Structure 1
Amino acid sequence: MARWIMIAGALLFALGAVLHFAPGLLSWFVKLPGDTNIQTGRGRVFIPITSAIIVSVLITILLNLFRR
C-alpha cells in the first residue's frame, strides 16, 4: 500500500511541476470536442465528458499493465 501511495504522490508531483512550469502544455486537454462549457452572466459550468473518458481509459490501461 505504501508503494502505491508513493507512486501516486510522485505522479501528482510531476503533474504539478508540468502545470507550474509549462502551463500551456496541457491547455488542449480541456478544449476537446465533447467538453461542454456553459457561460452566463451569473456563472460558468464546465462538464469535461471527453476529457473524463480519456483519463478513464488511460488509468485502465496503466492499471492493467501494472497488475500483470
Structure 2
Amino acid sequence: MSFFPAYTLVMSIGTFVVLGLMLFAKRTKLDELESYFSENAEVRKRKQLWGPSPRFGGFHRMGLMIDIMLMSKR
C-alpha cells in the first residue's frame, strides 16, 4: 500500500471523527461550555444575536467556543 491511499484513508476517517465530536459537543455541551464564559462580551453578543436557533445559531456559537479554546490569550 502506497503512502497516498493510506494518507487519504486516515484523513477521511479523521474528518468524520472530528465532525462527530463537534456535533456531540454542540448538542450536549454547548450551553454548559457557554456558562463558563457568561461574562465574556463576545459570547453574550453571539448568544443574543443567534438565540436558540438550533442549526445556524449553534454552529456559530460553537465556532466561537472553538476560537476561545484555541486562542485563549486573546
Q: Which TM-score band (shorter chain)? A: 0.3 to 0.5
Which protein has the bigger strand share?
A: 1
How high is the TM-score relative to the length of structure 1? 0.38
Which protein has the bigger helix share?
A: 2
